[in-house]
Structure 1
Amino acid sequence: MDHRTRDAGGAGRRQFLMAMAAVGAALTPAALWAQVKTGTDAPAAKALAPSQRALLDRVADLTIPDSDTPGALAVGVPAFVTLALAHGLEGAGAPVPAARFTGGAGPADATVLDWLMFELDLKAGGAFLAAAPAVQLQALTALDGAAYAPGGQASPWRLLKGLIVTGYYTSEAGASQELQYELVPGHWDPDVPVGPHGRAWSNDWTAVDFG
């Protein structure tokens, strides 16, 4: 291989790495929210079955309901999660192995939403979406408890819940109403009293790891 071939290969690798870096930079929560606001998330939403969209809406609402601030459904988190799934963020696009389904009864090429529907239907004793709100909450609570119990690290619910929480706290309402926000933070104080209704600061929220 002469020097011209080596240089061309090096340039190709550099271009590839630059392109990958650009993709990684684009897949941030802010970029996904921008797509939601401009409506460019529509193709991803259409790729979901109506039952999957309804499931995502209901689960987001149960995970972070309305309180004195808007909840996950009210701020549009399902649209954020839909885009995150379409982009395969945090491995969300990979099929869920049959072993992750209770009883190992998962279909081939099952998505994380297929898994969620299966597990919640099972825990609700029937169609989750048709169940009473109290039954839905009980089913999701059981799923959440199993996912965060010892040995539950591989549960797909951890991935979905992480996307819901990330979407919520990077939304405008989540970052400025649910969390406190100070445009120009003041001095550092190592010891600040926190009451039972104190809110965290969105300036300090660093749990975002996309790309």
Structure 2
Amino acid sequence: MNRREAVQRISLLMGGALSAPAMAGILGQKTNLGESVQVTAQQEALLAEVADVIIPTTSTPGAKAAGAEKFIVRVMRDCYPMEDQKKFYAGLAKLDSDSQAAYGKGFVALSNDQKIDMVKKLTTTDQAFFRRLKELAVTGYFTSEIGASQALEYVEVPGRLEACIPYKKGQKAWAI
């Protein structure tokens, strides 16, 4: 199985097909040959915090520990046109300003419960931004070393095919 086929199977495992730019990013392609938005350290830190709300640390490390924000920044820069990048980072800035308006401080400074509340509100107030953010965060997480080896079962060199193997209670899903 080649990498493209593996990524396609992962996307189906995660609940659907990935967008073309996300798929290109996973495969390391660069489809945006024009200018890109310059991302600040504060924006990257904000992305890390939001991604960590989407995939928090539990018995396995969360999205922040996996570096999902770096994947998001790279894929946005390399695979999305400038207009889409501007919309995405405007959505991120709006989340931060909404946090400031609701709680008197930026998203990064909020308590965990307040962050969860702001992301829940985001699912209804800006669905397009949230869906793109979630797609990139989940994809970045499950294609990272942490996501593929600690959150999923991983066999580096697969053995023979056994089509019907019952899961054990508490067993993780398999990385493909």
Bin the TM-score by the shorter chain.
0.5 to 0.7
1:89-104 equivalences in 2 (<5 Å): 89=80, 93-95=82-84
Paired with 1:139 and 1:162, the residues of 2 have a C-alpha distance of 18
Aligned equivalent of 1:31: 28
- Work out the number of aligned pairs and report it: 145
Deviation at 1:163, TM superposition (A): 0.7
Paired with 2:87 and 2:43, the residues of 1 have a C-alpha distance of 11
One-letter amino acid of the structure 2 residue matched with residue 190 of structure 1: C
Structure 1: where are the runs of 5+ without partners?
Answer: 1-23, 33-43, 97-109, 204-211
Does residue 135 (structure 1) correspond to residue 117 (structure 2)? The answer is no
CA contact (8 A) 2:95 2:107 kept: no
The DSSP-based 3-state class of the residue aligned with 1:142 is: helix
- Offset from partner CA, 1:87-135 (integer Å, 9 cap, x none): 134x6x4348xxxxxxxxxxxxx43122123135326614323332221
Deviation at 1:199, TM superposition (A): 1.1
Does residue 113 (structure 1) correspond to residue 113 (structure 2)? The answer is no
The DSSP-based 3-state class of the residue aligned with 1:187 is: coil
One-letter amino acid of the structure 2 residue matched with residue 202 of structure 1: A
CA contact (8 A) 2:24 2:79 kept: no
CA contact (8 A) 1:120 1:139 kept: no
Q: CA separation of 1:170/1:95 partners in 2, compared to 1, >3 Å: closer, same or farther?
A: closer
- Offset from partner CA, 1:55-98 (integer Å, 9 cap, x none): 11111221112222221111211111110110134x6x4348xx
Deviation at 1:160, TM superposition (A): 1.3
1:55-204 equivalences in 2 (<5 Å): 55-89=46-80, 93-95=82-84, 110-122=86-98, 125=102, 126=104, 127-144=106-123, 146=124, 155-182=128-155, 183-190=157-164, 192-193=166-167, 195=169, 197-203=170-176
Paired with 1:119 and 1:60, the residues of 2 have a C-alpha distance of 13
Give the structure-1-normalised TM-score: 0.58
Q: Cα RMSD over matched residues? A: 3.0
Paired with 1:156 and 1:136, the residues of 2 have a C-alpha distance of 16
Aligned equivalent of 1:6: none
Paired with 1:123 and 1:185, the residues of 2 have a C-alpha distance of 49
Paired with 1:51 and 1:28, the residues of 2 have a C-alpha distance of 23
One-letter amino acid of the structure 2 residue matched with residue 130 of structure 1: A
CA contact (8 A) 2:25 2:78 kept: no
CA contact (8 A) 2:44 2:70 kept: no
Give the structure-2-normalised TM-score: 0.67
The DSSP-based 3-state class of the residue aligned with 2:28 is: helix
The DSSP-based 3-state class of the residue aligned with 1:74 is: helix
Q: CA separation of 1:82/1:75 partners in 2, compared to 1, >3 Å: closer, same or farther?
A: same
The DSSP-based 3-state class of the residue aligned with 2:130 is: helix
Structure 2: where are the runs of 5+ without partners?
Answer: 1-20, 30-35
One-letter amino acid of the structure 1 residue matched with residue 110 of structure 2: A
Structure with greater Cα Rg: 1
Which consecutive aligned stretches of 4+ in structure 1 deviate over 4 angstroms post-superposition?
none
The DSSP-based 3-state class of the residue aligned with 1:190 is: coil
